[in-house]
Structure 1
Amino acid sequence: MDWQSESPELWAFLESLRHGEILSGTISVIERFGVFVALDDGPGHPAFPGVGFITIPELSWRHIDDPTDVVEVGQRVSCEFLQFDTYNAEARLSLRGTQPDPFQAFADHTTVGQELRGTVTRVFPFGTFVEVGDGIEGLIPSAEVHGRLASGPGESFRPGDEATFVVTAIERPQRRMFLSRR
């Protein structure tokens, strides 16, 4: 569809937005792939239930299983404008962009070699995720389970296991922390 000619008011509104601008609106629909937002100052969308859209990763800094863990239909939100999606004629938004990144604050007080108590959250063939703070997770690569490649993801850890781990690396730009068994 040629959104520019079909809905010139919508197109003009989206072109006027600037990266980083804060927009307010109401959550109109929650889908498994993201959340539609009816923006206060924007026109309606001819095909979607809102001119704003938040992808799942942009809802929260923390890992979430379902969008309803963060928002609900009818909720008022303020979001950061990321970009104009010209294909869908929508404003891509970020709810997490309006909140401080808890990983960076955690990294300010954590050093390589530090021991942390944690709980295993997820186990995959490539490694094990461990929560070591409020929503802060680190990865133990499979090769680090016993200093050798594990035969399978469940060899040493199961979700819910608690133990002490050592921080082996913190990568701030990528928001990653690597751990090893104590």
Structure 2
Amino acid sequence: MDWQAECPELWAFLESLQRGENLSGTVAAIEPFGVFVALDDGPQHPIFPGLGLITMPELSWRRFEAASDVVQVGQRVSGEFLQFDTHNAEARLSLRATQPDPFQTFADCTAVGQELRGSVTKMVPFGVFVQVADGIEGLVHLRDLTSAPAEGPEEVVQVDDVVTVIVTEVDREERRLSLSRRTTGRP
């Protein structure tokens, strides 16, 4: 579809938006790939339920299973304008860009070697994720889970177990926290 020719008002509105601009609207639909937002300003989209789209990674800094864990249809939201998607003629928005990144705040007061306590939230073949602060999870690789040989993490811990861990790396850029249980000597 030639959006510019067939929907000139829509195209002109999208072209007028500036990166970083704050746009408000109402959540119109939740899809597996993201959330459509009916913007307060601007025309209606001729195909999609909203002119704005928030992709799954842009919904929240925190890990979540479904978009409905973060927003609900009919909810008012404000998001930062990221880009004009010319292929779909929509405004790509970020809800998380309007919120402080909890990982950076955590990293400001956390050092390698620091001991933390947290709850096992998820088990994967190569290790476990441990929540050490609100919205902050780190990975304990299987090799760092125990000094004894183990085939899988379920031989050592279970989801919801509270464990003591040591911070082995804080990667601000990748927003990754690496943890170990081997050096704590405690459960």
Contact 1:118 1:131 in 2 (8 A): yes
C-alpha displacement of 1:88: 1.2
Q: Structure 2 CA distance, aligned partners of 1:134 and 1:32? A: 25
Contact 2:22 2:79 in 1 (8 A): yes
Aligned to 1:20: 20
Retained in 1: the 8 A contact 2:127–2:152? no
Contact 1:142–1:149, Cα closer than 8 Å, also in 2: no
Aligned counterpart, 1:142: 142
Instruction: Please give the secondary structure, in 1, of the residue aligned with 2:29.
Output: strand
Structure 2 match to 1:107: 107
Could you say which residue in structure 2 is the equivalent of 1:83? 83
Q: Is the 8 A contact 1:119 1:160 kept in 2?
A: yes
Residue 59 of structure 1 aligns with which residue? 59
CA deviation after TM superposition for structure 1 residue 56, in Å:
1.4
The number of residues matched between the two structures is: 182
Provide the residue aligned with 1:31 in structure 2.
Answer: 31
Aligned to 1:166: 166
Contact 1:24 1:77 in 2 (8 A): yes
Report the secondary structure of 2:112's partner residue: coil
For the residues of structure 1 that align with 2:147 and 2:6, how far apart are their CA atoms? 60
- Structure 1's unaligned 5+ residue stretches are none
Partner of 1:125: 125
Distance change in 2, residues 1:179/1:21 (3 Å): same
* Amino acid aligned to 2:174: Q
RMSD over equivalenced CA pairs, Å: 1.5
Taking only the aligned residue pairs, the percentage that are identical comes to 65
The verdict on how the C-alpha distance between 1:149 and 1:17 changes in structure 2, with shifts beyond 3 A counting, is: farther
Residues 167, 42 of structure 1: alpha-carbon distance in 2 compared, 3 angstrom cutoff: same
State the TM-score, normalizing by the size of structure 1: 0.94
Distance 2:148 2:50 in 1: 51
